[in-house]
Amino acid sequence: MRTPQSMRYNVHTHHLPPNNEHIAFVNQSYQYKPENCRFFTAGLHPWYLEQSSLAEAKKWLSHQLQQPGCVAVGEAGLDKACPTNWQLQVDAFQYCIQCSEDYQLPLILHCVQAFDELLAYKPACTMPWVFHGFNKKIAVGQKVLQAGAFLSFGAAILNESSAAATALKHCPEHRFLLETDARSDISIDTIYEKAAYIRNIPIKTLENRLEETVQIIFKIP
């Protein structure tokens, strides 16, 4: 049941929320497992993959995705700027895609210099994809949106001259979300307020539209 006042959603954070005023989806990985999360996501991040522990990490992921409060797979993805072996990244990412489809959960994506390679998998997938921390030019954002995926914006929009701020300004309704990612010094309230300013809409309107978008993508118990 929705409350009379719209909630604010932090759809990707690496930190436990300071209070229960807003809803936060806390990122978990095989190496980072915060406890006491009301809602969380679980994935295999390309930065931390190791061939020797991949089998155990896959088992861990499958178990986490069946736990109460898990709302998405991720973050997962491909990263050409990190030293992790490329084939290992692909193996882990393909497993995360399969988990997303098998458990009927959306996929939160980490993507660095690999948009074409990553989007090549999208046509075969039925679950929503969310590219977190988006800070690329509009042309890249359009490519993601045309593939049917969503964009999530974080602290980069605080710089009004950033690619993220420009992409947010032109992003269609119900195709974007907001987050704080790994930043512990910035609140989701700050991100919401800046997003409302960039889009030139009342904060209440933004809250309502983002709540609708969250309901489209996630199954919140």
pLDDT tens across 29-41, in order?
887 777 778 999 9
CA-closest candidate to residue 128, choices 180, 179, 72, 170:
72
Give domain status of residue 4, yes or no.
no
- pLDDT for 20 equals 72
Q: Of 30-44, 99-113, 197-211, which range is least confident? A: 30-44
CATH number at residue 180: 3.20.20.140
Cβ contacts of 27 within 8 Å, gap of 6 or more: 12, 13, 14, 40, 41, 43, 74, 75, 108
- pLDDT for 2 equals 39
- Count of domains observed in the chain: 1
- pLDDT for 106 equals 98
Give domain status of residue 62, yes or no.
yes
Average pLDDT estimate for 125-144? 98
Supply the range of the domain harboring residue 157: 9-217
Write down the pTM of the prediction: 0.95
Express each pLDDT in 45-77 by its tens digit. 999 999 999 999 999 999 999 999 999 999 999
Give domain status of residue 96, yes or no.
yes
